[in-house]
Amino acid sequence: MVMRLAPGPSGPLHLGHSRMAILNDAYCKATKGTLLLRLEDTDPDRVMLEAFEWIAQDLQWLGVTIHTTVVQSDRFDLYYAHARRLLEVGAAYVSTAPEEVWRDAKLHNRPLPERHEAPHAQLERFDKMLGGAYHDGEAVLVIKTDLADPNPALRDWAAMRISTSPHPRTKDRYLVYPLMNLAVALDDHLLGLTHVLRGKDHLNNTYRQRWVFDALGWSVPHYIHYGRVRIDGPELSTSTMAAGIADGTYSGWDDVRLGTLRAMEARGIEPAALRRYWVEAGVNEVDVVLSWPTLYAFNKELIDDRSDRFCFTPDPRTVRIEGVEGPLERSSPLHPSHPERGERRSTLHPHGGVVEVLIAGADWDPLPNGALVRLKDMCNLTKVDGTTATFAGVPMPTGGRRPQILQWVEPIGALPLQVRRPEGPVDAGMVEAAAGAAAGGVVQLERYGFVRLQPTSAERPTQLHGAFAHR
RNA sequence: GCUCCCGUAGUGUAGACCGGCCAAUCAUCUCGGCCUUUCAAGCCGAAGACUCGGGUUCGAAUCCCGGCGGGAGCACCA
C-alpha cells in the first residue's frame, strides 16, 4: 500500500489532523506499506513557512513514520505539463470570463463559448496565462465535466488560477497556481498512491478528481472516507490561534486552551492515547464527537503508574494548629503502588505549641467549627475557627467513623504553583517542596488531577506553573 | 434549493456484504459495593441502544421502499 498525509502548511497540527495522520500510519504499518507526507502549499496566501517544520515535528511526536516528503510548490512544472496534456485531449479549457459569469453559467448547465474552442486555442491562452498576460482572476484553467450533472458541485471545476501573491517558498517564481483538486489528482497518480484515506468532506472532491484520472487514462486509487469529527472545547482555527498568540491572549501554540498537538504534549497527553482513540474509532463514515472522558481514560491508563504524587492546595488557608507538643513527622510514598520509589518527608517543629499548615480553601472553609479531620499521613485536628485548630493526636482514630482526610502542605519550602486549565481558569496555590524535583514531568496532584509542571522561568526555578491534563 | 453520504446505549464501537448462533460486543461515562490515610488506581456488580413506518421472509439490527433526523458539497481554500 502507498498512502499519504496531505496537510496544508498553514500552522501546526491539531487534534483533527491527528486522526488523519494516525489512521493512515496505522494502515501503512499494518500492511508494511509506504506513507508519504505531501505538503499542499498551492495557495500562497495560506502558507506559513514555519509550519513545514512544525508538521514534521508534530508527526514525529505522534509516532507517525514518514517514508518520503514532497512539497507541491516544488512540482509546478509537472502540473503545467499535465495541464497541457489535459488541454490537448480536450478535457480542459481556459476561461477568461469573470468568475461570477462562469459560475452562473454552470449553475444553469450552460457552456461558455471558450469551452468549445479547439485545443490549440486553449493552449495559446494557457501560454498567455503562464506568460503573465492576465492578472489575478482574469483567466483560469477549468476541467470539463458534465455540465448536465445533477449535482451542481460536480460541474466544471477550476483547476489552475493566477495569483500574484508572493509564495513564501518560491517567492514570485510562479504566477499560475494549481488548485487543490488538480494538484491532488495529479500527485495521487504520479506518486503511486494505492489508497486514499481522508475525511468525508472530500467526498465530492473524489468525484471531481476522477475526471482528471479518466482524461489521462489513469486508474484511480481506492478511496476511503471517514466521518467528520466535532471537537468541543479547545480553539482549533489557525487564524484565531495566531491572532490570540499575537495579542497575548495565548502563551503560544502550546497553550493548554488550544487544540494543537503541542498543547496536548504540554499537558501530558500521550500520543499513544490519541492513537488508541482514533484506531478504536476506525474509519466509520458516521460523524463523531471527540469524547474527552474516553481520551482522558486512555491517557490515565498510560501515565498513572509513572506519575509521582504530590499535595497541592489551591487557594490555600494558613491554619494554626495549637497544642502541639513535639515535632510532627510525615512521610508519604511518591506513588502508593510503588513504595520503592521513595517518600516525601516533612518534619514540622512547633513554636510555642503552634504549627502552621496550608489547606485548600475549598476543603477548609466548608468545615463546621468543631469538626474533627485528619491531615493525610500526619495527625488529627479539630477546627476551631477559620484560621485555628487544635491538635487532636497522631494516630488514626480507631472505632467510629473515620474522619475526613485532607490534603495539606507544609508552608516552609512550599512552592507557588499556578495551574492553567484547558477551559481557561488558572488555579493558584501552593505545592509541597518535593514537587520541585519533578518539574518538566507529569505528576498527579492528589485529588486534583494530572498536571505537567514547569519552572516558571530559569531565574525563578522555585516558582512553578502547570498545564492541567485531566483528573 | 440541488446533489451526495450517513443513522446500534450519554459518547464511540462490533455485528450488516453472506438474514437465524444478537433477549446485540467491547471501551468510556453514570450508579452501587469492596479495598484504600487521594474523592486516584484496582476488584465486583448494575443500568443503558438496533431512528420511525411499511414490505419480503418461517425468521430482519442485518435485504427493499418511504418518512424523519444528522452531515458534507455546490470556492479562482485545503
> What is the tens place of the pLDDT at every residue in A311-322?
999 999 999 999
Mean pLDDT of chain A: 94
pLDDT-based confidence at residue A410 (cuts at 50, 70, 90): very high
With CA atoms as reference, report the closest residue to A178 among A120, A105, A217, A129: A129
The rounded distance, in Å, linking the Cα atoms of A259 and A174 is: 34
pLDDT greater than 80 at residue A399: no
CATH number (3.90.800.10, 3.30.413.10, 3.40.30.10, 3.20.20.140) of A76-178 reads: 3.90.800.10
Q: Residue A419 CA to nucleotide B59 C1', Å? A: 60
Range A174-185 average pLDDT: 96
Per-residue CB contacts under 7 A with strand B, chain A residues 206-265: 227-228, 230
In this structure, whether the domain defined by A307-471 belongs to CATH 2.60.40.1180 is answered with no
ipTM of the complex as predicted:
0.93
Of all residues in chain A, the percent with pLDDT exceeding 70 is: 100
Range A200-205 average pLDDT: 88
For residue range A124-147, list pLDDT tens digits in order: 999 999 999 999 999 999 999 998
pLDDT at A462: 79
The rounded distance, in Å, linking the Cα atoms of A231 and A207 is: 27
Per-residue CB contacts under 7 A with strand B, chain A residues 385-444: 396, 405, 407, 444
Identify whether the C-beta of residue A147 lies closer than 8 Å to the C-beta of residue A155: yes
Report if CB A304 to strand B is under 7 Å: yes
Q: Residue A369 CA to nucleotide B10 C1', Å? A: 40
pLDDT at A457: 79
Look-up of cell digits 484547558: A422
Per-residue CB contacts under 7 A with strand B, chain A residues 441-470: 444, 446-447
> Domain limits of chain A?
2-73+184-294, 76-178, 307-471
Task: Report the DSSP beta bridge partners of residue A20.
Answer: none
Q: What is the CATH number assigned to the segment(s) A2-73+184-294?
A: 3.40.50.620
Q: Which region among A243-252, A258-267, A280-289 has the lowest average model confidence (pLDDT)?
A: A280-289
Report if CB A84 to strand B is under 7 Å: no
Q: Which region among A83-87, A258-262, A371-375, A455-459 has the lowest average model confidence (pLDDT)?
A: A455-459
pLDDT at A204: 87
For residue range A332-359, list pLDDT tens digits in order: 999 999 999 999 999 999 999 999 999 9
Name A466's Cβ contacts closer than 8 Å, sequence gap at least 6. A417, A418, A419, A420, A445, A451, A452, A453, A454
